[in-house]
């Protein structure tokens, strides 16, 4: 049982919740059974028990009669055993799935119990059905057997074993069932409504404690964590801002900068999540923050998820800073050894102020003289482990700014990343024309190509993206190559030039092809999703996505975000096959309907559920047993605001009314951040 269901103690057993219940509280009369009833629970005399049919059609048929009618009981298996156990002429209770055969009510493989008049009043509670596994079933531990163990355990447990863990003022104001009662009622409810109340209470408890844990971590950081003090805005920032910033910042950018500025001037460590839609200008926020760090004699790193993106950041940032005395370096997996050594020296002696790169920048070998600020760009490609690796880079952890690739729904973000502070940039730089998105079936490909031709003749560039479901998938590469040949036949050299980039090229090749497109030497970029994140080519005005039905919503939105970056009107064409699943059709519909990444994120969460949203998969905070952050969103908000209110008044949980929270969390120490806190 341990291994199969991950149950190691009473507590785990108690939290092994039933998947449904069956109602044996009322014994019905046979005549009152109806076709639409799912189950029958009846009592009567077994009139006969006969073996009928031959070979495969062989079956045991019993007739059970009460004073209103007769029902058939049928067994196809275990006939021998049933024949021995049941005696015609005796009375039995029969329970099972109700079926009708030629108009006669019938139960196949019913649960049978001897019937005595007292028992016929039915059970006192609904019977739980538990999830079990095939292996356990084979050893006789099926759902019913688990039910017996559970009942025995619950009869032994006393109220003192399950003391209330939610303050009474909350229980009262949200009308929640008590802890002891709800743990009983979730397994053996006296009625459906009692089950619902128990479920509501236990869901609330889950959400409440998830929020409590994560908010305590955040609060402790705000109160006690030491961080580097950036006490001034100096020449680098000011000079850049006045003389070199190529555009006016949006209000959203200004606000986030203010938040970062405030956070880093407190002497506490900043840990901030920056949510911004594709193209909202997160890079500039990161750059300006890194200049503040440099003004305070601290080094910064910016970590990007792909080599191409890191390269691009390097090119644009060195260009922005070319007239300022700031040393910027790029470190990726493909940096040659000699150059790498030079960069590592520069980091160690402090001469490099800003290091850009891929995850290579956080390897243990890279040592900084005085790292103070770290940016993680396009977070969905990075895990929590990488975030924590940054903490070891200096005697105090650097300030950390995590930037998402595409928006994550707010409820999800505050649950999965609730220990981080939260900023939103919900504004795009001015002058952007909305991207027109259309859905076309494959047959329309020639006309789509003609459209690209028009755009290219007008001086624009285009992306054509092919799916790459798995890095190693041969079929995907074959499709890409076929597509490339096809595109070439539409756009013959030397009138047109095409770049192709995919994961199997070595990075020098990838880089060269990418750069030709960035510089405008090629008109069309044929690629897998390696251009998915971040890449910035403002002159590109068309994004064609082949087999768009194979992509997830956030990926489609991220890909679409590669166009619409310049002044020209841009287009996104989603090409698909004729056959579309319901989900795929839903995704395409949303893409066509809106450009708003925040709306798309909410939809994505609805369609896929929280476990599948990128960047949150590893988050333990989402492993709820009963609650769902989609279905129970309202309750989640209630739990969060309750937690926030409590901690605002009583951050150490020392008030009498809150002591039970502290006690419960200490009992659960291994599961909480309390160990760190107390």
Q: List, in order, residues 6 or more apart from 14 with CB less than 8 Å away.
A: 153, 154, 157, 183
Report the residue number, 200 or 282, with the smaller CB distance to Mg ion: 282
Please tell me whether residue 467 binds ligand ADP under the rule CB under 6 A.
no
| Residues near 294 by beta carbon (within 8 Å), at least 6 away in sequence | 234, 236, 300, 326, 353, 354
The residue (of 306 and 541) whose beta carbon lies closer to Mg ion is 306
Of 105 and 564, CB closest to ligand ADP: 564
Residues 6+ apart with CB under 8 A from 622: 412, 415, 416, 610, 611, 616, 629
- Selected from 534, 561, 566, 673, the binder of Mg ion by CB under 5 A is 534
Q: 3-state class of 356 per DSSP?
A: strand
Alpha helices, H only, 594-658: 597-608, 633-649
| Residue 565 binds ligand ADP (CB under 6 A) | yes
CA 407 to chain centre: 12
406 binds, among Mg ion, ligand ADP, none (CB under 5 to 8 A by kind): none
Residue 241 DSSP symbol: I
- Smaller CB distance to ligand ADP: residue 167 or 276? 276
Binding mask of the shown chain, residues 481 to 520, with x at each position contacting Mg ion by CB under 5 A: ----------------------------------------
Site map 368..407 versus ligand ADP, x via CB under 6 A: ----------------------------------------
Q: Nearest distance from residue 257's CB to ligand ADP, in Å? A: 11
Residue 227 interacting with ligand ADP (CB under 6 A): no
Q: By C-alpha distance, which of 535, 513, 505 is closest to 305?
A: 535
Question: Which range of residues in 145-153, 342-350, 409-417, 533-541 is near Mg ion by CB under 5 A?
Answer: 533-541
Task: State the burial class of residue 54 (Cβ atoms within 10 Å of its Cβ: 0-12, 13-18, 19+).
Answer: exposed
Q: Which stretch binds ligand ADP (CB under 6 A): 110-118, 171-179, 280-288, 658-666?
A: 280-288
Phi, psi of 488 (to 5 degrees): -60, -35
Nearer to ligand ADP, 110 or 564 (CB): 564
Contact with ligand ADP (CB under 6 A): which of 279, 372, 398, 467?
Answer: 279
Judged by CB under 5 A, the stretch of 107-115, 476-484, 532-540, 628-636 that binds Mg ion is: 532-540
Q: Which of the stretches 12-20, 414-422, 530-538, 652-660 binds ligand ADP when contact is defined by CB under 6 A?
A: 530-538
Q: Which is nearer to ligand ADP, 91 or 570 (CB)?
A: 570
CA distances from 178 to 14, 183, 186, 188, 466 (A): 15, 9, 12, 15, 55
**By CB under 6 A, how many residues form the interface with ligand ADP?**
17
467 binds, among Mg ion, ligand ADP, none (CB under 5 to 8 A by kind): none
Burial class (CB in 10 A: 0-12, 13-18, 19+), 648: exposed
In this complex, which beta carbon is closest to ligand ADP, that of residue 81 or of residue 247?
A: 247
Helical H segments across 6-65, by residue range = 10-14
Least separation, in Å, of the C-beta of 194 and Mg ion? Answer: 52
Interface residue with ligand ADP, options 166, 170, 216, 284 (CB under 6 A): 284
Closest to Mg ion by CB, 227 vs 305, is 305
* CA quadruple 140, 146, 147, 149: dihedral, nearest 10: 110
Ranked by CB distance to ligand ADP, the top (closest) residue is 281
Number of residues lying near Mg ion (CB under 5 A) = 1
420-429 b/e (C-beta count within 10 Å ≥ 16 → b): bbebbbeebb
Q: Which is nearer to ligand ADP, 375 or 646 (CB)?
A: 375
User: From the CB of 488, what's the least distance to ligand ADP, in Å?
Assistant: 30
Instruction: Name residues contacting ligand ADP, limited to 410-449 (CB under 6 A).
Output: 429
Place of tokens 């070439």: 488
| 470 token code pair | 């798995």
Number of CB atoms found within 10 A of residue 12's CB: 13
Which one-letter DSSP state was computed for residue 140? Answer: T
Q: What is the DSSP letter of 156?
A: H
Cβ-closest position to Mg ion: 534
247, interface contact from Mg ion, ligand ADP, none, CB < 5-8 Å by kind: ligand ADP
How far, in Å, CA of 65 to CA of 70, rounded? Answer: 4
How many angstroms separate the most distant Cα atoms in the chain?
A: 102
List residues binding Mg ion (CB under 5 A): 534
List residues binding ligand ADP (CB under 6 A): 247, 249-250, 253, 276, 278-284, 429, 534, 536, 538, 565
């Amino acid at each position: 049982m341990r291994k199969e269901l991950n149950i190691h103690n009473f507590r785990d057993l108690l939290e092994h919740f039933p998947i449904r219940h069956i109602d044996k509280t009322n014994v019905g009369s046979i005549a009152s059974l109806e076709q639409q009833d799912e189950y029958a629970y009846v009592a009567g005399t077994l009139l006969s028990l006969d073996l009928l049919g031959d070979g495969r059609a062989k079956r045991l048929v019993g007739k059970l009669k009460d004073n209103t009618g007769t029902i058939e009981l049928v067994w196809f298996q275990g006939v021998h055993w049933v024949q021995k156990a049941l005696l015609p002429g005796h009375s039995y209770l029969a329970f099972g799935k109700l079926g009708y055969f030629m108009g006669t009510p019938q139960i196949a493989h019913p649960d049978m119990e001897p019937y005595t008049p007292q028992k016929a009043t039915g059970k006192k509670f609904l019977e739980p059905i538990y999830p079990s596994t095939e292996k356990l079933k084979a050893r006789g531990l099926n759902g019913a057997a688990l039910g017996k163990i559970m009942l025995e355990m619950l009869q032994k447990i006393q109220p003192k074993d399950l003391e209330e863990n939610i303050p009474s003022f909350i229980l009262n104001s949200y009308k929640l069932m008590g802890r002891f009662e709800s743990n009983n009622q979730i397994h053996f409810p006296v009625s459906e409504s009692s089950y619902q109340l128990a479920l509501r209470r236990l869901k609330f408890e889950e959400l409440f404690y998830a929020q409590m844990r994560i908010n305590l971590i955040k609060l402790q950081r705000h109160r006690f964590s030491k961080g580097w003090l950036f006490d001034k805005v100096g020449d680098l920032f000011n000079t850049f801002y006045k003389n070199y910033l190529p555009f006016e910042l949006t209000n959203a950018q200004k606000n986030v900068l203010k938040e970062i500025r405030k956070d880093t001037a407190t002497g506490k460590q900043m840990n901030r999540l920056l949510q911004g839609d594709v193209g909202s200008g997160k890079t500039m926020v990161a750059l300006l923050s890194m200049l503040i760090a440099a003004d305070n004699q601290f080094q910064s790193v910016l970590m990007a998820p792909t080599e191409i993106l890191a390269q691009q950041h390097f090119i644009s940032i060195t260009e922005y800073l070319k007239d300022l005395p700031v040393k910027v370096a790029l470190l990726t997996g493909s940096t040659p050894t000699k150059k790498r050594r030079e960069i590592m020296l520069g980091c160690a002696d402090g001469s490099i102020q800003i290091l850009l790169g891929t995850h290579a920048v956080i390897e243990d070998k890279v040592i900084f003289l005085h790292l103070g600020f770290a940016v993680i760009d396009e977070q969905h490609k990075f895990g929590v482990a990488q975030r924590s690796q940054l903490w070891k880079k200096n005697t105090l952890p650097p300030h950390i700014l995590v930037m998402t690739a595409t928006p994550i729904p707010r409820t999800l973000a505050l649950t999965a990343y609730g220990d981080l502070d939260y900023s939103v940039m919900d504004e795009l730089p001015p002058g952007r024309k909305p991207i027109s998105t259309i859905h076309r079936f494959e047959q329309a490909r020639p006309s789509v190509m003609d459209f690209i031709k028009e755009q290219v003749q007008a001086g624009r560039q285009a992306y054509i993206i092919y799916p790459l479901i798995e890095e190693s998938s041969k079929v995907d590469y074959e499709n890409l190559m076929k597509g490339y040949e096809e595109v070439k036949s539409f756009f013959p050299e030397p009138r047109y030039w095409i770049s192709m980039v995919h994961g199997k090229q070595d990075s020098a090749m990838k880089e060269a092809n990418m750069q030709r497109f960035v510089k405008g030497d090629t008109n069309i970029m044929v690629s897998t999703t390696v251009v998915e994140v971040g890449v910035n080519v403002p002159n590109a005005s068309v994004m064609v996505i082949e087999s768009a039905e194979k992509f997830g919503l956030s990926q489609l939105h991220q890909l679409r975000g590669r166009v619409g970056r310049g002044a020209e009107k841009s287009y996104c064409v989603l090409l698909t096959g004729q056959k579309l699943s319901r989900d795929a059709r839903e995704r395409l519909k949303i893409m066509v309907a809106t450009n708003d990444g925040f709306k798309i994120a909410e939809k994505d969460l609805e369609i896929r559920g929280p476990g599948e949203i990128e960047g949150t998969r590893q988050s333990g905070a989402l492993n709820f047993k009963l609650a769902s952050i989609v279905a129970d969103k309202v309750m989640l908000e209630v739990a969060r605001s309750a937690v926030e209110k409590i901690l605002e008044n009583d951050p150490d949980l020392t008030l009498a009314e809150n002591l039970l929270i502290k006690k419960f969390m200490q009992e659960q120490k291994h599961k909480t951040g309390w160990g760190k806190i107390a």
